[in-house]
Amino acid sequence: MHIAAVIPGSTPGFIPSPDTGVWNLGPVPIRAYAMFIVLGIIVAVVLGNKRYEARGGRPGVITDIAIWAVPFGIVGGRIYHVLSDWQIYFGAEGAGFVAALRIWDGGLGIWGAVALGAVGTWIGARRNGVALPPVADAIAPGLALAQAIGRWGNYFNQELFGSPTTLPWGLEISPENRPSGYGDFSTFHPTFLYESLWLVGVAVVVIWADRRFNLGHGRAFALYVVLYTAGRVWIEALRIDSANEILGLRLNIWTSIIVGLGALAYLVISARLKPGRELIVQEPEPNEPETVAKVE
């Protein structure tokens, strides 16, 4: 681990930075960023399957849908990241097209991942003969946990941290990874940790609210979006990495506000128009009769 330098107005980081985010298993590099993404996907699929089956759904449906949703989501996340921070790759001193493809170096935009991942989920749901809203409700808390786990990849890459801080849980960042103008600071807000903890809380609240209020018709998913975007606004405001801005606010803050308000509107309107939970009507497996499962 690096040793944080002690400077006036600063304290050694309580959270040390890893020396590396890559380990070589013979000729094969094992990258922490990819490892945490894969682990998050596994958790999301396992929990999603369990929740969907509890609603009366056919076992294994979420796994089948994930085959479509996951690659779509990864591609969408990368596209959003590259487009929203295009100057990093295609600016005057950009890293170039090849670097834009190096997803293992970090850089997945959640908005692109959700948008294109939703397209993949829709395709997978159609191919499995199931409705999309119950699937979205089933996977919502798992998505939050997947994001919480994935944020630890940013920790190993020493990226997406916040402004300098003297708090005892400040994150130590090595000099080569500090943004321009922050070379004299050694400890920063661990925004990866803030977001990870917030997302665990989001998952817990969604599961509780789903049971308490019998959420249906996509409202568990909408609640996840509302809670996530609320946390993302204040966490994003702490970050000091370069980002495009509109009217003095980072692009991701505007996106969070717009998406969050849209999800909140859907949550309220949907509850009035379609109270309670829907029936899960599924296409039968080969040689099996059609099943209709009522979700309580």
pLDDT of residue 163: 93
* 216 alpha carbon, distance to own chain's centre: 22
> How confident is the model over 21-29, as a mean pLDDT?
81
Averaged pLDDT of the chain? 85
pLDDT of residue 285: 57
Q: How confident is the model at residue 33 (pLDDT cuts 50, 70, 90)?
A: confident
- Here the tokens at position 176 are 């080569």
Tell me the whole-structure pTM to 2 decimals: 0.85
Identify which has the larger pLDDT, 88 or 140. Answer: 140
Residue 283 has pLDDT above 60, yes or no: no
Q: Has residue 237 been placed in a domain?
A: yes
pLDDT of residue 291: 47
Q: Distance from first CA to last CA of the chain, Å, rounded?
A: 51
Q: Has residue 12 been placed in a domain?
A: no
pLDDT of residue 7: 40
Chain segment 43-82, per-residue pLDDT in tens:
999 999 999 999 989 999 999 999 999 999 988 888 877 7
Q: Has residue 220 been placed in a domain?
A: yes
pLDDT of residue 94: 63
Rounded CA-CA distance 274/191 in Å is 38
Q: Has residue 4 been placed in a domain?
A: no
279 Cβ contact partners less than 8 Å away, ≥ 6 residues apart: 292, 293, 294, 295
Q: Has residue 85 been placed in a domain?
A: yes
pLDDT of residue 18: 87
Q: Has residue 7 been placed in a domain?
A: no
pLDDT of residue 111: 77
73 Cβ contact partners less than 8 Å away, ≥ 6 residues apart: 113, 114, 116, 117, 120
Q: Has residue 294 been placed in a domain?
A: no
Rounded CA-CA distance 41/62 in Å is 12
Q: Which domain holds residue 197?
A: 29-288
> How confident is the model over 205-226, as a mean pLDDT?
96
User: What's the number of domains the chain is made of?
Assistant: 1
pLDDT of residue 81: 75
Q: Are 11 and 168 in contact (CB under 8 A)?
A: yes
Chain segment 222-262, per-residue pLDDT in tens:
999 999 999 999 999 999 887 778 888 998 899 999 999 99
164 Cβ contact partners less than 8 Å away, ≥ 6 residues apart: 10, 170, 182, 185, 187, 188, 189
Q: Has residue 9 been placed in a domain?
A: no
pLDDT of residue 93: 66
DSSP conformational letter for 275: -
**What is the full DSSP assignment across 191-228?**
HHHHHHHHHHHHHHHHHHHHHHHT--TTHHHHHHHHHH
Residue 13 has pLDDT above 50, yes or no: no
pLDDT of residue 133: 94
Total Cβ atoms within 10 A of residue 23: 11
